[in-house]
Amino acid sequence: MPPVQVVIGIVVERGRVLITRRHDDGRHLAGFWEFPGGKVEPGESLEDALRRELAEELDIKVSVRSTLQASTHDYPSATVVLHPFICDLSAGDPKPLASQEFRWVTLTELPDYQFPPANAAWLKSLADHLPQATT
């Protein structure tokens, strides 16, 4: 089975980043916090998938600032390749359309939230890419 391609938006606004919490419904990684995003559809570019997912999940528009290195993680049921993008909020106020809730947090607050294991590879390096979001 080919790896699942997943885009992730690290949305920055006023020195904070946007995180969402998965519904606590018993599915894989239920209740975990994550950066919003989702699966890339066939024939879709990574940036188009990111914009679509953030519009569908949060009713927001973003502009891509930069990309981080993709990382691969093996879960028992699938292998995922995460494609993280650092983005600026360009329009809309987030609404939790596909998640249980959302929060704006600083990077120093991120360790207070439980993230999926696949995020560990680059989660710690965010301060190098977003020093203004650490306070």
Annotated binding site for Mg(2+): 37, 57
CA distance 79 to 131: 31
Query: What per-residue confidence (pLDDT) applies to 132?
Result: 62
* Lowest mean pLDDT, pick from 14-18, 26-30, 66-70, 97-101: 26-30
CA distance 92 to 111: 27
Q: Cα-atom radius of gyration of the chain, to the nearest Å?
A: 14
Query: What per-residue confidence (pLDDT) applies to 45?
Result: 97
Domain boundary assignment for the chain: 4-125
Annotated binding site for 8-oxo-dGTP: 22, 28, 34-37, 119
Query: What per-residue confidence (pLDDT) applies to 133?
Result: 59
Domain 4-125 fold:
Nucleoside Triphosphate Pyrophosphohydrolase (3.90.79)
Annotated binding site: 22, 28, 34-37, 57, 119
CA distance 102 to 97: 10
Q: Is the CB of residue 52 less than 8 Å from the CB of residue 46?
A: no
Query: What per-residue confidence (pLDDT) applies to 65?
Result: 92
pLDDT in tens, 71-93: 998 988 889 999 999 999 999 99
pLDDT in tens, 11-41: 999 889 999 998 877 677 778 899 999 999 9
